[in-house]
């Protein structure tokens, strides 16, 4: 497999000069999954759809941040925009498992308190990221799964839908084609807000044609999602089994926090040393409290974008 990587470094020097209580520059990064590029004549069309969707997600998050809103709210806003867009493997566009059912996962975490919440294998929650946040804020738990997670979300007044809501013809055709090999994709966001706080979130439909009941890294705190103000915020996408075994998101943060590594160096080491060594594939988006952003992947493509205070969305689709 061809291994490609991209690193985007944005250092907001003014952060170090900000007075206590002063509004600091914010930044948001999103991803729309990593893997193989679409083939055939529709490649350009799908690429434009990914770019448009990520741009909308960045703007949704920015609308929260521009007036001093919290990182957690911006992560939620961005991921809802991606979940509602059928081009992505999350929410409306989630892929089908081996028995033709959509099972969705999501997680969210705030870096100031280390509070976190997640749901796995939900089937009727329109926006799984909302259910994940409800688990964090309205229950004593971190992770709920299956029917219990659906029932909890409904009890919290979160919008529920019939399972047919998630079906799209594109995903159904992928399901038919994936009986021989699975495809993966995920969405996520990491944010630095004007108060200097970090947050991260991830949402997915998992692998196409995954085994019934399979759960990947996206709802696992420390594997697919992690945020700590003392380190960084991470959202991952890829082969979840490898990301779980390596605790990829937490491993990146630990290198930053305890080894003093810059996020670019820590991210590169985990993806291109640890993940490569096990034979896993995927990528991550990362941001720290200084506004430094790192994007690394060892797949052929990874769809990602960022937006910072005073700027315009920058979206990269593909390599």
Which of 208, 141, 223 minimizes the C-alpha distance to 176? 208
Quote the number of domains for the chain.
1
Which of 245, 174, 236, 234 minimizes the C-alpha distance to 210? 174
Domain region containing 50: 13-100+167-310
Does residue 146 lie in a domain region?
A: no
Instruction: Report pTM.
Output: 0.90
Q: Does the structure show a pLDDT above 50 at 88?
A: yes
Mean pLDDT computed over 152-160: 98
Please list, residue by residue across 58-78, b when 16 or more beta carbons sit within 10 angstroms of its beta carbon and e when fewer do: bbbbbebbeeebbbbbbbbbb
Q: What does the block give as tokens for 138?
A: 């309205």
Catalytic residue among 55, 113, 168, 186: 186
pLDDT of residue 208: 79
pLDDT of residue 21: 57
Task: Assess whether 208 carries a catalytic annotation.
Answer: no
pLDDT tens for residues 8-58? 443 333 333 344 456 789 999 999 998 876 665 567 778 899 999 999 999
Q: Who's near 158: CB < 8 A, 6+ residues apart? A: 125, 126, 127, 130, 131, 134
Does residue 6 lie in a domain region?
A: no
CATH (domain of 298): 3.60.20.30
What angle is formed at CA 159 by the lines to CA 170 and CA 47, rounded to 5 degrees? 30
- Comparing 58-62, 92-96, 124-128, 226-230, the range with the smallest average pLDDT is 92-96
Does residue 281 lie in a domain region?
A: yes
Helix axes 146-155 and 128-138, enclosed angle (nearest 10) = 80
Q: What does the block give as tokens for 82?
A: 């991606």
What angle is formed at CA 108 by the lines to CA 163 and CA 219, rounded to 5 degrees? 60
Does residue 8 lie in a domain region?
A: no
* Alpha helices for 84-211 (secondary structure H): 128-138, 146-155, 169-177
Does residue 28 lie in a domain region?
A: yes
Give dist(CA 67, CA 28) in Å, integer.
14
Mean pLDDT computed over 253-260: 98
Does residue 287 lie in a domain region?
A: yes
Side by side, the strands of the sheet bearing 282-288 are 225-227, 232-238, 282-288, 293-297
Give dist(CA 91, CA 290) in Å, integer.
32
Does residue 63 lie in a domain region?
A: yes
pLDDT tens for residues 293-311? 999 999 999 999 999 999 9
Does residue 246 lie in a domain region?
A: yes
């Amino acid at each position: 497999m061809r291994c490609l990587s991209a690193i985007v470094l944005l250092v907001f020097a003014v952060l170090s000069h900000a007075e206590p209580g002063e509004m600091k520059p914010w930044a948001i990064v999103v991803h729309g999954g990593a893997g193989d590029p679409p083939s055939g004549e529709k490649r350009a069309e799908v690429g434009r759809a990914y770019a448009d969707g990520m741009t909308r997600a960045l703007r949704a998050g920015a609308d929260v941040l521009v007036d001093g809103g919290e990182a957690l709210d911006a992560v939620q806003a961005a991921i809802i925009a991606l979940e509602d867009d059928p081009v992505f493997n999350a929410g409306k566009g989630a892929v089908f498992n081996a028995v033709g059912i959509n099972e969705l996962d999501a997680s969210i975490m705030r870096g100031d308190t280390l509070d976190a919440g997640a749901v796995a294998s939900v089937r009727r929650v329109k926006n799984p990221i909302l259910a994940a946040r409800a688990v964090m804020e309205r229950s004593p738990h971190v992770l709920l799964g299956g029917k219990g997670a659906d029932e909890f979300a409904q009890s919290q007044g979160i919008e529920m839908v019939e399972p047919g809501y998630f079906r799209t013809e594109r995903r159904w055709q992928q399901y038919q084609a994936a009986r021989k090999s699975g495809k993966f994709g995920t969405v996520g966001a990491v944010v630095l807000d004007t108060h200097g706080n970090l947050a991260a979130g991830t949402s997915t439909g998992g692998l196409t044609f995954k085994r019934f009941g399979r759960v990947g890294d996206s709802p696992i705190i420390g594997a697919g999602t992690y945020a700590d103000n003392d380190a960084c915020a991470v959202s991952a996408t890829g082969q979840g089994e490898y990301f779980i075994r390596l605790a990829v998101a937490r491993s990146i943060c630990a290198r930053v926090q305890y080894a003093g590594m810059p996020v670019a160096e820590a991210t590169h080491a985990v993806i291109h040393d640890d993940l490569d060594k096990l034979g896993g594939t995927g990528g991550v988006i990362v941001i720290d409290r200084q506004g430094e952003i790192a994007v690394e992947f060892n797949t052929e493509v990874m769809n990602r974008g960022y937006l910072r205070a005073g700027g315009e969305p920058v979206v990269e689709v593909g390599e």
